[in-house]
């Protein structure tokens, strides 16, 4: 006992000296000209971009759009934060040497070297590293890092700590994936009741002097003893241990710590054979979104160690970014549901909603720069210059874009200049989509669509009926089209002799390909033809890998 107290006293004394000495040392080095002020800021703090999701206020549907069930939509928002490394800890959750699921073991082994890189960088900055491989404490008996956690003085938590914190219905809905089968996405010989195969943390994550090892409330004691305020969480599995353990997200948040998940260094236990029947990696994305909505923000590992965010080798999904900014047709509700149902198996989807307050900015729009496909569902929103420039840069690179319904007049007002501080794009329609939207026929006129017979074998039209099918909403007046357009579907409003194109391809001057459809009314999403048309258009425009 005396030895443990002595060890703890040395550790706490060293920590106190480091906290007092480091700012003074930085000041001295700056005074001597050895560091610039900006370097001091970088050396003394962790500059993070915290991604979270804010609920979108529920609005009454407009008179022209039938009500659609709410789906709990959120804005994706980024916020800058400076975290003091001396008041920050990294918790590594259940990165075991083996797992009951072979694919889970494989992904842990693939991810571990990147986790170790993060560990080394944060450790060098003074961040407390806590290894938490649950149920393996016997392996570490007598290890200095294990004793460090055991000797932390007992602290009274804000709320009682549990061995496991399950779904908290007072704060969150059910998880967006069905993991009731245990989540293994491969064949396994392990059966319930057999001993668990893990014995320790995977060896490729180094445990060094000054680190701690625990899987219990000891971690809370250590955090309080060290004056930790911020906790980064990495490890597995996002839908289980990363949320539920006594050192994991739900309980850390309830204890009033500032918590952030490193979202590219985690994995789910999810089997694509279960609802919502998406790819394994989309399952992880959905759980990460759940955490961002209801528990804490996330970051990516490249913010800590540079380079690119980590991506599993088997995750080859192309990335589609959807910009949504129109209330009339409720695509903030219909497009997310469409994305899960029709794109979840093959695509990584990022949905960005227009800022409700400013109406001229898409929080998180930086994601457009890394998109493989851009989809626009926006109506008359001039943007702040930076946002519009990001979109222009994407298009000028010759990348594909898809526009639905009001995208033809996405970034300009009708017969009005852009408000001060914003810029518009009145020629977006002819320049990007090859159309000339002027108006629409009355919504009371029923509209039917017919595919162009000469294009019947086009992959975008595969499986669509050769006979006419009903569409929702009014028929847009878009003629004449620009050269280098290929009309795929015509629409006709009853009593109106002149048909109008409702879907076409356009070869832009920058070399890129655009697909536009004036469909996208809420009733179009309820049918079978439009979701098939839109899905196949997205699939057709995926850039071919070299």
User: What's the confidence (pLDDT) of residue 517?
Assistant: 98
Buried b (16+ CB within 10 A) or exposed e, 234-251: bbbbbbbbbbbbbbbbbb
Is 361 within 8 Å of 355 (Cβ atoms)?
Answer: yes
The token pair that represents 97 in the structure block: 């040497």
**Is 219 part of any domain?**
yes
**Is 458 part of any domain?**
no
Lowest mean pLDDT of 27-31, 200-204, 250-254, 260-264, name the range.
Answer: 27-31
314: pLDDT strictly greater than 80: yes
User: What's the confidence (pLDDT) of residue 58?
Assistant: 58
| pLDDT tens for each residue of 290-308 | 999 999 999 999 999 999 9
Tell me, what CATH number does 354's domain have? 3.40.50.880
| pLDDT tens for each residue of 408-435 | 999 999 999 999 999 999 999 999 999 9
Is 156 within 8 Å of 271 (Cβ atoms)?
Answer: no
Q: Tally the domains of the chain.
A: 2
Same domain, 208 and 275: yes
22: pLDDT strictly greater than 70: no
What average pLDDT does this structure show over 180-196?
Answer: 92
Read off the DSSP letter of residue 423.
Answer: B
CA-to-CA dists, residue 247 to 85, 145, 202, 205, 481, angstroms: 19, 16, 19, 19, 60
In the block, tokens 């975008």 appear at: 460
pLDDT bin (cut points 50, 70, 90) of residue 81 is very high
**Is 204 part of any domain?**
yes
- Of 210, 200, 182, 220, the closest CA to residue 95 belongs to 200
14: pLDDT strictly greater than 80: no
528: pLDDT strictly greater than 50: yes
CA-to-CA dists, residue 487 to 84, 116, 191, angstroms: 58, 53, 56
What average pLDDT does this structure show over 145-162?
Answer: 95
pLDDT bin (cut points 50, 70, 90) of residue 470 is very high
Same domain, 272 and 383: no
In the block, tokens 């001060």 appear at: 420
**Is 283 part of any domain?**
yes
Mean pLDDT across the chain: 90
**Is 13 part of any domain?**
no
Q: Which residues contact 426 (CB under 8 A, 6 or more apart)?
A: 412
d(CA 227, CA 237): 27
pLDDT bin (cut points 50, 70, 90) of residue 20 is very low
Strands 513-517 and 469-471: unpaired
The token pair that represents 207 in the structure block: 């445990």
What average pLDDT does this structure show over 358-364?
Answer: 94
Sheet holding 212-213, edge to edge: 74-83, 46-55, 298-299, 258-267, 230-236, 88-93, 128-132, 212-213
More confident residue, 163 or 27: 163
User: What's the confidence (pLDDT) of residue 54?
Assistant: 87
Cα diameter, the chain: 95
Q: Which residues contact 545 (CB under 8 A, 6 or more apart)?
A: none
| pLDDT tens for each residue of 368-424 | 999 999 999 999 999 999 999 999 999 999 999 999 999 999 999 999 999 999 999
359: pLDDT strictly greater than 80: yes
What average pLDDT does this structure show over 493-519?
Answer: 96
Tell me which residue range forms the domain holding 170. Answer: 79-184+197-305
506: pLDDT strictly greater than 70: yes
User: What's the confidence (pLDDT) of residue 182?
Assistant: 95
Same domain, 279 and 385: no
Lowest mean pLDDT of 42-51, 203-212, 243-252, 492-501, name the range.
Answer: 42-51
d(CA 215, CA 130): 9
Q: Is 177 left (phi over 0), alpha (psi -120 to 50) or beta?
A: beta
**Is 387 part of any domain?**
yes
Same domain, 292 and 265: yes
Tell me, what CATH number does 113's domain have? 3.40.50.850
Same domain, 285 and 327: no
| pLDDT tens for each residue of 436-454 | 999 999 989 999 999 999 9
User: What's the confidence (pLDDT) of residue 435?
Assistant: 98
What average pLDDT does this structure show over 218-247?
Answer: 98
d(CA 509, CA 186): 47
Same domain, 397 and 253: no
What average pLDDT does this structure show over 246-266?
Answer: 98
Same domain, 246 and 359: no
Same domain, 384 and 238: no
61: pLDDT strictly greater than 50: no
Is 403 within 8 Å of 432 (Cβ atoms)?
Answer: yes
| Domain endpoint, select from 256, 282, 305 | 305
Same domain, 225 and 358: no
| Domain endpoint, select from 305, 328, 349 | 305
pLDDT bin (cut points 50, 70, 90) of residue 546 is low
pLDDT bin (cut points 50, 70, 90) of residue 30 is very low
User: What's the confidence (pLDDT) of residue 112?
Assistant: 98
pTM given for the model = 0.87
**Is 30 part of any domain?**
no
Task: Work out the percent of the chain whose per-residue pLDDT is above 70.
Answer: 89
**Is 15 part of any domain?**
no
Same domain, 257 and 368: no
pLDDT bin (cut points 50, 70, 90) of residue 13 is very low
DSSP 454-507: GGTTSGGGTT--SS-EEESSPPEE-PSPPTTEEEEEEEEETT--S-EEEEEEEE
Lowest mean pLDDT of 67-76, 105-114, 197-206, 387-396, name the range.
Answer: 67-76
What average pLDDT does this structure show over 163-181?
Answer: 96
Same domain, 421 and 301: no
Same domain, 400 and 284: no
Phi and psi torsions of 216, nearest 5° = -140, -165
SS3 (DSSP) at 100 = coil
| Domain endpoint, select from 256, 278, 305 | 305
């Amino acid at each position: 006992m005396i030895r443990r107290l002595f060890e703890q006293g040395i550790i706490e004394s060293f920590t106190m000296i480091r906290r007092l000495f480091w700012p003074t040392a930085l000041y001295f080095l700056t005074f001597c000209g050895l560091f610039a002020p900006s370097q001091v800021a970088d050396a003394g703090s962790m500059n993070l971009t915290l991604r979270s999701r804010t609920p979108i206020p529920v609005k009454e549907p407009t008179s022209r759009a039938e009500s659609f069930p709410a789906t709990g939509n959120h804005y994706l928002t980024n916020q800058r934060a400076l975290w003091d490394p001396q008041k920050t800890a990294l918790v590594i959750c259940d990165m075991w040497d083996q797992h009951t699921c072979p694919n889970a073991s494989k992904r842990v082994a693939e991810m571990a070297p990147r986790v170790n890189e993060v560990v080394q960088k944060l450790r060098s900055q003074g961040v407390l590293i806590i290894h938490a491989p649950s149920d393996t404490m016997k392996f570490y008996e007598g290890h200095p890092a294990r004793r460090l956690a055991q000797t932390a003085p007992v602290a009274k938590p804000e709320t009682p700590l549990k061995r496991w914190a399950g779904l908290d219905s007072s704060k969150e809905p059910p998880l967006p994936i069905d993991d009731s089968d245990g989540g293994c996405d491969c064949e396994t010989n392990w059966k319930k009741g057999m001993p668990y195969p893990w014995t320790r943390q995977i060896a490729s994550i180094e445990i060094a002097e000054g680190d701690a090892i625990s899987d219990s409330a000891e971690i809370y004691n250590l955090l309080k003893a060290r004056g930790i305020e911020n906790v980064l969480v990495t490890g597995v599995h996002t839908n289980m241990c990363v949320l539920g353990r006594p050192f994991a997200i739900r309980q850390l948040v309830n204890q009033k710590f500032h918590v952030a998940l490193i979202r590219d260094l985690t994995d789910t236990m999810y089997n694509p054979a279960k609802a919502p029947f998406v790819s394994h990696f989309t399952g992880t994305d959905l759980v990460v979104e759940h955490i961002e909505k209801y528990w804490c923000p996330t970051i990516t590992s490249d913010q800590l160690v540079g380079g690119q965010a980590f991506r599993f080798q088997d995750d080859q999904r192309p990335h589609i970014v959807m910009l949504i900014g129109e209330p009339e047709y409720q695509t903030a509700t219909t497009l997310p549901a469409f994305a899960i149902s029709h794109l979840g198996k093959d695509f990584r989807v990022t949905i960005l909603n227009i800022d409700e307050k400013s109406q001229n900015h898409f929080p998180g729009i930086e994601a457009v720069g890394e998109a493989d496909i851009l989809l626009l569902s926006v109506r008359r929103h001039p943007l702040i210059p930076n946002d519009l420039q990001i979109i222009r840069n994407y298009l000028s690179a010759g990348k594909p874009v898809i526009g639905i319904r009001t995208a033809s007049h996405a970034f300009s007002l009708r017969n009005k200049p852009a408000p001060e501080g914003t810029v518009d794009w009145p020629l977006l329609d002819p320049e990007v989509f090859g159309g000339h939207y002027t108006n629409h026929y009355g919504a009371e006129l029923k509209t039917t669509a017919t595919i162009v017979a000469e294009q019947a074998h086009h992959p975008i039209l595969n499986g669509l009926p050769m006979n006419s099918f009903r569409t929702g909403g009014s028929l847009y007046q878009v003629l004449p089209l620009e050269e280098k357009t290929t009309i795929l579907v015509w629409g006709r409003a009853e009593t109106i002799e002149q048909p109008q194109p409702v879907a076409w391809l356009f070869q832009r001057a920058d070399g890129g390909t655009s697909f536009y459809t004036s469909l996208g009314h809420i009733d179009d999403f309820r049918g079978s033809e439009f979701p098939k048309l839109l899905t196949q258009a997205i699939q057709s425009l995926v850039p071919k890998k070299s």
